[in-house]
Structure 1
Amino acid sequence: MLATVNKGADWLIRLSALLGTIGLLVAVTVILVDVVGRFFGSPLTGAQDMTQMAMVLIVFGGMALCDKIGGHVNVDLFEGMMPRWLIWAGDFASALIGMIIFAGIAWTTWTSVQLMRFQLGVIQKTNIIDLQFDWFKGFIIVASIITALGMFLRLITLVTTGDNGQASKGHS
């Protein structure tokens, strides 16, 4: 059962990372076109708006994969001197706190959309090209839920096997 859930979560994590990759390609392309356009006296209109929204895709799209492979900054200066149970407790605490944070980001963003769009009737848009925020807020919500789910599955793996489930951690 857990293997099936992990397989589904891995698929969602890869999809999220793919969307983050698309965001990165968009940002690089927009910046390139803007820089070349500026050289010829015709900058790309809305480049700042597009780059900012692409950053949402890059950051939130890649977060679940970063957690899955253990890609976060990790200072393990004293880890070699620590007992195994303390390392496990640190892995558990980081997954639990991360899960709570990303669930909180999803909830807060959802509440923001509900308030702005449905209660106040305000459609938030970027300054230059009127790009609506709602699509990007929706992505933040979905990607944060995927990240929280991945961290929850890491908690379950920690409890059931003692393994932190991250590919790059030296003590897994």
Structure 2
Amino acid sequence: MLPALRAFTDRLISLSAWLGTVALLFLVGVVLVDVVGRSFGSPLYGALDMETMAFVIVVFGGMALCDKQGGHICVDLFERYFSPRLNHLIDIVVDLLGGVIFMVIGYAVIKAAQLSAMLNLRTNLLGLPLAWFQWALVALALITGLALLLRAAEFIITGRSEHEVRRVE
């Protein structure tokens, strides 16, 4: 059961990273066209709308992959003074807490997306529906939350810790 859930979660993480990559490439293109256009006195209309919405996808799209690869900031000043068991417990608590935080973010944004859809809220210049990007944020936050909760479960079941995983990889 756990290996199948891990495979499914890894596919979701890959999908979210792919979406973040596409959004980043789009963002680079928008900035390039806008900057070149500004130098000729004709900036890209709606560039700020596109950049703001693309950043939502870039940030939350890469979050799960960053976490999976251990790319987040890790302050380990006291790690060497703690027992392996305490470090293992800290790893579990941190992943559980992170998973819950991302699930709460997802839940809160669900409410915001529903409100945006109901009120037909749109971006300032291009009139892009805000709800579309909020629903994307919900999905990406829930993927990150799922990945964190799954890793906590794996640490509990296998007895391995983040420190052992980092040493092995």
Cα shift at 1:171: 8.0
* Aligned position for 1:4: 4
Map 1:18-97 onto structure 2 (within 5 A): 18-97=18-97
- State the match for 2:131 in structure 1: 134
- Cα separation, 1, equivalents of 2:163 and 2:37: 43
**Matched residues in 1 for 2:137 and 2:164: separation?**
25
The CA distance in 2 between the partners of 1:165 and 1:150, in whole Å, is 14
- RMSD over aligned CA atoms reads 1.9
d(CA) in 1 for partners of 2:42 and 2:69?
A: 42
8 Å CA contact retained: 2:122, 2:129 = yes
Q: CA deviation at 1:81?
A: 2.1
| Offset, 1:162 | 2.0
TM-score (normalised: structure 1) = 0.91
Instruction: Quote the Cα distance in structure 1 between the aligned partners of 2:6 and 2:145.
Output: 13
Unaligned runs of 5+ in 1: none
Q: Is the 8 A contact 2:88 2:162 kept in 1?
A: no
1:17-39 deviation per Cα after TM superposition (whole angstroms, max 9, x unaligned) = 00000111111110011000001
TM-score (norm 2): 0.93
Cα distance 1:168–1:31, how it changes in 2: closer, same or farther (>3 A)?
farther
Task: Structure 2 unaligned segments of length 5 or more: list them.
Answer: none
In 1, the alpha carbon distance for the partners of 2:132 and 2:92 equals 33
- Paired with 2:78 and 2:168, the residues of 1 have a C-alpha distance of 13
Shift of 1:77: 2.2
When residues 48 and 116 of structure 1 are mapped into structure 2, their CA distance, relative to the original with a 3 A threshold, is closer
| C-alpha contact 1:69 1:166 (8 A) present in aligned 2 | no
**Secondary structure of the corresponding residue to residue 56 of structure 1:** helix
User: Of Structure 1 and Structure 2, which has the larger fraction of its residues in helix?
Assistant: 2
Shift of 1:114: 2.3
Question: 1:154–1:165: 8 Å Cα contact kept in structure 2?
Answer: no
Partners of 1:167 and 1:14 lie apart in 2 by: 23
Aligned residues with identical type, % of pairs: 43
Q: Give the drift of 1:58.
A: 0.6
Instruction: Kindly provide the amino acid, as one letter, of the partner of residue 8 in structure 2.
Output: G
> Do residues 125 (structure 1) and 117 (structure 2) align?
no
Partner of 1:160: 157
Paired with 1:77 and 1:165, the residues of 2 have a C-alpha distance of 15
Q: Give the length in aligned residue pairs.
A: 169
What are the superposed Cα offsets for residues 30-74 of structure 1, whole Å, 9 maximum, x if unpaired? 001100000111100111111111100011101111111111001
